[in-house]
Amino acid sequence: MCAGARGTLTPMSTYRPPVSDLAFVLEHVVGYRDIAKFPGYEHADLDTVVDLLGECGEFMAKVVAPTNQAGDVEGARREPDGSVVTPGPFKDAYHKYVDAGWGSVPFPEEFGGGGFPWSVNLAIQEMTASSNMAFALCPLLTQGAIDALLHYGDDAQKQRYLPKMISGEWTGTMNLTEPQAGSDVGALTTRAVPRADGSFAITGQKIFITYGEHDLSEQIVHLVLARTPGAPTGTKGISCFIVPKFLVNEDGSLGERNSVTCLSIEHKLGIHGSPTCVLSYEDATGYLIGDENLGMRIMFVMMNSARLSVGMQGLAVAERAYQESLDFAQERRQGLAIGATGKDSAIAEFPDVRRMLMTQKAYLAALRRLMLLNAVHIDRSTHEPDQLSRVRAAEIVGLLTPICKSFGTDLGVELTSLALQVYGGMGFIEETGAAQHYRDVRITPIYEGTNGIQAADLVGRKLAVRDGASVMEFIATMREIEVELADAGARFESIRTELHAQLDALEAATGWMLRTGPTDPNAALAGSTPYLRMWGLCVGGWLLARSALAGEAADDAEQAETQLVLARFYAEQLLPQAAGLLGAATAGSRDLFALDADGLSGAARLKRSTAA
Ligand X SMILES: Cc1cc2nc3c(=O)[nH]c(=O)nc-3n(C[C@H](O)[C@H](O)[C@H](O)COP(=O)(O)OP(=O)(O)OC[C@H]3O[C@@H](n4cnc5c(N)ncnc54)[C@H](O)[C@@H]3O)c2cc1C
Kindly state whether residue 182 participates in binding ligand X, applying the rule CB under 6 A. Answer: yes
From 203-211, 227-235, 315-323, 413-421, span contacting ligand X (CB under 6 A): 203-211
Please state, in angstroms and rounded to a whole number, the distance separating the CA atoms of residues 56 and 103. 11
| CB nearer to ligand X: pick between 52 and 312 | 312
From 1-9, 354-362, 444-452, 557-565, span contacting ligand X (CB under 6 A): 444-452
Please state, in angstroms and rounded to a whole number, the distance separating the CA atoms of residues 360 and 366. 10
Kindly state whether residue 101 participates in binding ligand X, applying the rule CB under 6 A. Answer: no
| CB nearer to ligand X: pick between 297 and 500 | 297
Q: Which residues are catalytic?
A: 448
Kindly state whether residue 443 participates in binding ligand X, applying the rule CB under 6 A. Answer: yes
Please state, in angstroms and rounded to a whole number, the distance separating the CA atoms of residues 189 and 187. 7
Residue 186 DSSP one-character state: G
From 125-133, 382-390, 451-459, 486-494, span contacting ligand X (CB under 6 A): 451-459
Kindly state whether residue 532 participates in binding ligand X, applying the rule CB under 6 A. Answer: no
Kindly state whether residue 350 participates in binding ligand X, applying the rule CB under 6 A. Answer: no
Q: Which of 133, 456, 485, 534 contacts ligand X by CB under 6 A?
A: 456
Give the angle 315-317-322 at the CA atoms, nearest 5°: 90
Which amino acid would we find at residue 45?
A: D
User: Residues binding ligand X: what is the number (CB under 6 A)?
Assistant: 18
Kindly state whether residue 209 participates in binding ligand X, applying the rule CB under 6 A. Answer: yes
Kindly state whether residue 447 participates in binding ligand X, applying the rule CB under 6 A. Answer: yes
Closest CA to 309 of 571, 128, 570: 128
**Conformation bin of residue 342: beta by default, left when phi > 0, alpha when psi is -120 to 50:** left
Q: Is 151 helix (H, G, I), strand (E, B) or coil?
A: helix
First to last CA, the chain: 62
Kindly state whether residue 210 participates in binding ligand X, applying the rule CB under 6 A. Answer: yes
Q: Cβ 144 to ligand X, closest distance in Å?
A: 9
Find the binding residues for ligand X in span 244-283 (CB under 6 A).
268, 276
Kindly state whether residue 322 participates in binding ligand X, applying the rule CB under 6 A. Answer: no
**Interacting residues of 606 by C-beta distance below 8 A, sequence separation 6+:** none
From 2-10, 142-150, 446-454, 483-491, span contacting ligand X (CB under 6 A): 446-454
| CB nearer to ligand X: pick between 174 and 503 | 174
Q: Cβ 478 to ligand X, closest distance in Å?
A: 28
- Indicate the Cα dihedral angle 325, 328, 330, 334, nearest 10°: -120
Q: Cβ 274 to ligand X, closest distance in Å?
A: 7
Convert 111-148 to b/e letters by CB count within 10 Å (16 or more is b).
bebbbbbbbbbbbbbbbbbbbbbbbbbbbbbbbbbbbb
| CB nearer to ligand X: pick between 117 and 311 | 311
Contact of 136 with 392, CB cutoff 8 Å: no
Residues binding ligand X (CB under 6 A): 174-177, 182-183, 208-210, 268, 276, 443, 446-447, 450, 452-453, 456
